[in-house]
Structure 1
């Protein structure tokens, strides 16, 4: 969520696709149903989760699962593996730098858990989540696909040049605009409440707990080189060793002990 446009991510092809089956309860034929989740109501993350300082939320989001319910009832899921914190008025790389409020960035000043979707290059979108703090929000940079990979691949292919090489599974959501394409995140989600929206939400991963401290790498953010000292601040967080991370920073990894 930098103050300037990000570099266009490299084109990215197919891993093993999960089996599809029909839902006798009315989901359209071919819609993929969860093999990881049971829909337990207490799995969804509520308002209290988002109400924390920006850097804390950026780290807490790692390992959580972003869910997108499509119009046909199918649910797409991806584990968050990379985030960036934008701290509000003090942060010169933020859209809200200096306390600037516009029609575009209004979601950044709304309650924690508000979705902020903004366009880049006029055609791509990025998804953010507001946190505690005036004008502070977290950019979702990369996901590890968990469910609906076939549909994600189709959504990504629709936005790529004809004849482009097929995407590996790790490339489906390994960038902020890629994840918006793969999960069909539209601009209309801007200012929606991630704690209560019926089409998109966060869940705890039932197969793994929160990442350990040594698994989280703190590195500089991507695409904000013109913002002086703020370009070097370690406000990007990612899961060490995850193949879906968009940009690996070896120097930052060396500063982060790999074991306790």
Structure 2
């Protein structure tokens, strides 16, 4: 069996524009080490850009700076973990432009499946059945629960530090070709209505762990091949 070589992403890997970083992160492995030493791993299969500036869907729209969105203005590779309603979290990573970040939308489980399921089930009341592997991390809040990522533990976290042991991202050598779908974002509020069609979401074609497919965009891409 051939040995698979992997390396941890460093500062220079994250120093990219938001759009470039969103595509670059696809296929990379997000690794979370729990306090007991357990390693949870998931391949990044879907990302989404939030550009700041004129992007009305961004928390940094029009250059807004608050205590909450400070990580969006921190150096590339800094995590921005914010809280949605009912205590759900979302994981973002800052890019090189001030106020811009990439939302990690979906993962494909690589290892630690049983622990991920336990964490998800513990968050869901009155559940009596197991969760399908493809449903464990197919959404930004789902993956945060499954990887035990919270604002309290991992906000403003420096992913570029080669010595940190709580969370990092790796890439592996691979000859596998990866087709990427570029499509619109999901779940934007009415204040960002005109930004709904902006092609700022990216996902790996034919991956079953993606939160929402764009079949029209997939057909168009397949036609090019």
Please report the TM-score for the alignment, with normalisation by the length of structure 1: 0.80
Residues 146, 230 of structure 1: alpha-carbon distance in 2 compared, 3 angstrom cutoff = same
| Corresponding residue for residue 120 of structure 1 | 84
Residues 211, 237 of structure 1: alpha-carbon distance in 2 compared, 3 angstrom cutoff = farther
Q: CA deviation at 1:126?
A: 0.3
Q: What pairs up with 1:120-159 in 2 under 5 angstroms? A: 120-159=84-123
Q: CA deviation at 1:166?
A: 1.4
| Matched residue SS, 2:62 | helix
Residues 53, 160 of structure 1: alpha-carbon distance in 2 compared, 3 angstrom cutoff = same
Q: CA deviation at 1:72?
A: 1.2
Contact persistence 1:66–1:200 (CA under 8 A): yes
| Matched residue SS, 1:126 | strand
| Corresponding residue for residue 53 of structure 1 | 17
1:157-214 CA-to-partner distances (Å, cap 9, x unmatched) read: 11012234310011110000000000111213111101123200000034x35754xx
Contact persistence 1:78–1:145 (CA under 8 A): yes
CA RMSD of aligned residues (A): 1.9
Contact persistence 2:57–2:189 (CA under 8 A): no
Q: CA deviation at 1:257?
A: 3.4
Partner Cα separation in structure 2 for residue 89 and residue 111 of structure 1: 17
Contact persistence 2:121–2:127 (CA under 8 A): no
| Corresponding residue for residue 75 of structure 1 | 39
Partner Cα separation in structure 2 for residue 205 and residue 141 of structure 1: 20
Greater share of strand? 2
Unaligned runs of 5+ in 2: none
Partner Cα separation in structure 1 for residue 215 and residue 189 of structure 2: 18
Count of residue correspondences:
220
Q: CA deviation at 1:131?
A: 0.2
| Matched residue SS, 1:256 | helix
Please report the TM-score for the alignment, with normalisation by the length of structure 2: 0.92
Unaligned runs of 5+ in 1: 1-36
| Matched residue SS, 1:132 | coil
| Corresponding residue for residue 228 of structure 1 | 193
Greater share of helix? 2
| Corresponding residue for residue 124 of structure 2 | 160
Partner Cα separation in structure 1 for residue 177 and residue 94 of structure 2: 22
1:204-255 CA-to-partner distances (Å, cap 9, x unmatched) read: 034x35754xx10011100015213211001000011100000011122223
Residues 258, 210 of structure 1: alpha-carbon distance in 2 compared, 3 angstrom cutoff = farther
Partner Cα separation in structure 2 for residue 236 and residue 228 of structure 1: 16
